[in-house]
Structure 1
C-alpha cells in the first residue's frame, strides 16, 4: 500500500508575540518583547503551506493554542472573571503572565513524536505529545496538543495516542525537533533517529555549560518503547555540547533528514562519524546520502543565524527532493553557496525554494519548526479528520478568517487586555468549527 509524508503545519495564533522566554534560543532572546505582527505571521505560514500544496505535497493544518492561557493562571491562584485574572497576573506575577502568553506552540515540530505503522509492532501510527519540561511556558502545551491530535487522528483502528511523558528534568522531551526517520520508501520499515542533549540519570557525562540541553536520552528511549519500535531499527545520538552552547537548542537546528538523505553539520553530534556510520549500517535501502556541511563551508554561527538545517527536506518524486528554506538562507552568502553546490552534486536534492517567514524566524523558528511530519498509508490518510487537509477552498477560508480576526500589530501591553482575549477566543471558536475539531480548548469546556 502506498504511503506518503503529510506535513501538518501549525497556524500562528491571534496573540502571536515575542516573549524572549527561551533561554538557549538565540533568535528568540534577541527579539526581546518588541512589536509583533500576528496577521502577517499567520499569512506567511499559510502561504508556505499553500505553496507546498501547489507543488503536489500532502499538506494539512494544525490549530494554534489559546493564549493567554487563563486555565493555567487559574491553577496558579488567580481568580475572578477573565479580565481580573489577566489584570492580577500581569501586576503581581509578570513573569508567570508572560509565560502563559507565549506563542511558542506555533512550532508544531515540538508538538509530538510520531512513528508510522510500518515501524510499530502493533501496525498503528503512534503519537506521544512532547512534555517540553525544560521551559515552563512550553510545559503547559501538551494537554491541548493531545486533544488536538486526538481530534485529527480519531480512528483507534489506525492511531495509538500516548500521554506525554511525566514532567521531570530527567525525562525532558522536545518532540519531533529531535527525531528523524530514514527509509527507501515511506511504506518501508524505517530507521528512527533520536537525538538527545544529555542523560537524565547518569552523572558526570559530557554536557553543555552555557545553555541547557533539553532532550534527555531517557525520554527518547521511553518513546521507542511506547511506540513499539525494534531496537535494531533505532539509532540514538547525542548532540555535541558545544553546539548547544552555540545556540543549537534542538537537533533540527543542526541536521535534517528525509528518506535516504541526512544534511548535517560536521560538529552536530558527539562522535559524528560514528553516528553516520551506524545510520548507514542500519539503513536497508539501496543508497544512503550523508550530506556533510563542513565548518570551513558554513560556520555554526551562520547555520544558526540562517536556519539552514531548519529547512524542510521534502520528496517531489521517488528519487528527488527539494529544500524548503527561509529567505535568510538566500541572503547568507556561505549558506546559499553550499545549497547551490549541493543541488549540482550527485545526490537526490535537486532544487530549493526560499520563503519569507520573518515573523517566525524572529521568534526562533524556521520552516521545519512550523510543521509536524506524519507518514501515513492510504487507509490511514482516509481515516483522519479530512477538514484539516489543505485545499484551495480551505486556504481561502483560513486567509479570510485571519484577515477578519487578527490584529496587524501587537505589543506586550496588549496581552493584558480582556478585549484581545475575547477576540482570540472568538477566532478560535470559529476555527474549531471550520476544522471540525470539537472542543479542544479549556475555555470551551
Structure 2
C-alpha cells in the first residue's frame, strides 16, 4: 500500500473579518450579527491552530484570504467611480450587496472544495472541485479565487487536477467538503466517500432554513473525479431545521471511524449499511454515535463537538479529537468528550483550541480546514512556501499585527481606507506565500 498522510489546508482569516449575519441557518452568525469583531485576534487564533497541528506532526498548509472588499463585484452590479466611491455608494444604496462584497467567509476552507485523493480517482491524480456556494450571495463570489489558491498550492498537473466549480445554478448547489467524509483503512489506500446532500435539484423545499447541498451536485463531482466507492446519504431534515447548515456540524470522520450525532442522517441505519457495503473487503467501519438524550441538537450546534478535527497523530494508535474551547465550556458536550477519551473506543484523546472569533460567526476548527490525503510524492509536489513552519508562523504573525485592525464593526466596512489596508496586506502576503505575480485581481489592474 502506498504511504500517505491526511494534510490540512486552513483558510487564513482576512482583514475584513466581521459579524454581518449573512448566512441564514447559521445560528451563531445570526446571533452575533452587528457586534464588533477583532480581525487581528481572529487571524492569530487561526495561525496558532495551524501551528498546533504542525507541531503535532501533521502536514499543515495555508490558503490565502480573498481580495475583499470585492470591488469588481460591486462594479458588476452597477456601481462606478473610484474604488472608494464604489464602496461608499454601495453601502449607501445597496448595503446587502456591499456586505456580501466585504465578507471574509473564504476563511472557512471546509467549503473551499470537494477533494478526491489519488487512491480513489480514476486517473490516479488528486482532484479538487471548488464549491460554487450558490445558496448565499457572499459565498458565491469565492470559487474563482479559491481555484487560484488551490492551483498555487497544488501546481503539478501531473499529480493534481484543479477543476472549475460546477455551474452556478441552484440545481447544482455545492458546499464542498463540509458535507463530505472519507473513510479508509489507511490514507494511502482505497476509501469510501460519503457525500451528504440536503435536497434534490427539483425537490420543493419549504424549510425555514435552506438545504444547501443538492444530491445532483455531488453526483456530478463524483463523475468528474472518477471517484470510487461513493455513498450518498441524505442530511437529516430535522438537523437542517435545527440549524445544521452543513453536515460537518453534526458529523466528522477519518480513517475507519465515523463520529456523528444521531440526527446527522435522515436514515442512519441505511447510511451505515451503505458504508459497510462499499467498505466490504477493505476495512470494517467503526461508528461512534451520540444520542440526542446525551447531547441535544442545540448543544451539539452551540458547542461544535462534531465540528472538531478528528486526526491520528504520528505514533498514536487511537484518534485525537481537536475541539473548540466552546466544547469544553458546554457541560453536556464536555461530558461526551471526556467519556470518549476514557473509553476503549477509537477516540483516545481530546484537545482544545481557541478559535472564538471564528466560532462567533459559526465556524469551528473543522470549518477552517480542507483535508487532503497526499502520498509522499504528492506532498513533495506542493508549494513549500504555503506549508506551515515555525518560520512561516512567526512571519505571518508579524504580518497580521502590521496590517490587521483589532476592532471592526459592520459599519466600519464602509471605510474606504479598508480597501488600501486589505490590498497592502494581500500584496505583502503574495510574496510571503510565493503566489506569483498578479495573483489578486487588484494586482492585475492597469492604471
For the criterion TM > 0.5, the same-fold answer is yes
Deviation at 1:426, TM superposition (A): 0.4
Q: Secondary structure at the match of 1:181?
A: strand
Cα RMSD between the aligned structures?
1.1
Q: What is aligned with 1:436?
A: 434
Deviation at 1:294, TM superposition (A): 0.4
Q: Is the 8 A contact 1:151 1:437 kept in 2?
A: yes
What is the distance in 2 between the residues matched to 1:210 and 1:189? 39
Q: What is aligned with 2:305?
A: 308
Residues 83-122 of structure 1 mapped to structure 2, 5 A cutoff: 83-122=84-123
Q: What is aligned with 1:336?
A: 334
Q: What is aligned with 2:70?
A: 69
Q: Secondary structure at the match of 2:102?
A: coil
Q: Is the 8 A contact 2:15 2:104 kept in 1?
A: no
Q: Secondary structure at the match of 2:231?
A: strand
What is the distance in 1 between the residues matched to 2:91 and 2:427? 25
Report Cα offsets for 1:398-440 as digits up to 9, x if no partner. 0010011111101222211121110110000110110001232
TM-score, normalised relative to structure 2: 0.97
Q: Is the 8 A contact 2:184 2:283 kept in 1?
A: no
What is the distance in 2 between the residues matched to 1:136 and 1:107? 15
Runs of 4+ aligned structure 1 residues displaced above 6 Å come to none
Match for residue 280 of structure 1 among 243, 264, 276: 276
What is the distance in 1 between the residues matched to 2:416 and 2:318? 50
Q: Residue 321 in 1 paired to residue 319 in 2? A: yes
Q: What is aligned with 1:25?
A: 26
What is the distance in 1 between the residues matched to 2:53 and 2:135? 32
What is the distance in 2 between the residues matched to 1:214 and 1:122? 29
Q: What is aligned with 1:37?
A: 38
Deviation at 1:319, TM superposition (A): 3.3
Q: Is the 8 A contact 1:71 1:443 kept in 2?
A: no
Residues 107-146 of structure 1 mapped to structure 2, 5 A cutoff: 107-146=108-147
What is the distance in 2 between the residues matched to 1:93 and 1:151? 34
Q: Is the 8 A contact 1:208 1:245 kept in 2?
A: no
Q: What is aligned with 1:355?
A: 353
Deviation at 1:71, TM superposition (A): 1.1
What is the distance in 1 between the residues matched to 2:106 and 2:162? 19
Residues 152-301 of structure 1 mapped to structure 2, 5 A cutoff: 152-201=153-202, 203=203, 209-230=207-228, 233-283=229-279, 284-301=281-298
Q: What is aligned with 2:13?
A: 12
Q: Secondary structure at the match of 2:277?
A: helix
Q: What is aligned with 2:399?
A: 401
Deviation at 1:30, TM superposition (A): 0.5
What is the distance in 2 between the residues matched to 1:156 and 1:261? 31
Report Cα offsets for 1:358-410 as digits up to 9, x if no partner. 10000110000000001110111111111001110011000010011111101
Q: Is the 8 A contact 1:289 1:347 kept in 2?
A: no
Deviation at 1:348, TM superposition (A): 2.1
Q: Secondary structure at the match of 1:137?
A: helix
Aligned length: 440
Q: Is the 8 A contact 2:180 2:195 kept in 1?
A: yes
What is the distance in 2 between the residues matched to 1:68 and 1:363? 18
Q: Cα 1:286–1:126, aligned 2, differ >3 Å: closer, same or farther?
A: closer
Q: Residue 411 in 1 paired to residue 409 in 2? A: yes
Deviation at 1:213, TM superposition (A): 0.1
Report Cα offsets for 1:163-195 as digits up to 9, x if no partner. 100111111000000001000000101100100
What is the distance in 2 between the residues matched to 1:347 and 1:396? 37
Deviation at 1:347, TM superposition (A): 2.0
Q: Secondary structure at the match of 1:339?
A: helix
What is the distance in 2 between the residues matched to 1:22 and 1:43? 24
Q: Is the 8 A contact 1:112 1:128 kept in 2?
A: yes
What is the distance in 1 between the residues matched to 2:138 and 2:369? 20
What is the distance in 1 between the residues matched to 2:230 and 2:387? 30
Deviation at 1:286, TM superposition (A): 4.1
Q: Which runs of 5+ in 1 are unaligned?
A: none
Q: Is the 8 A contact 2:65 2:107 kept in 1?
A: yes
Q: Is the 8 A contact 2:194 2:231 kept in 1?
A: yes
Q: Residue 380 in 1 paired to residue 378 in 2? A: yes
Report Cα offsets for 1:290-310 as digits up to 9, x if no partner. 000001100000000001110
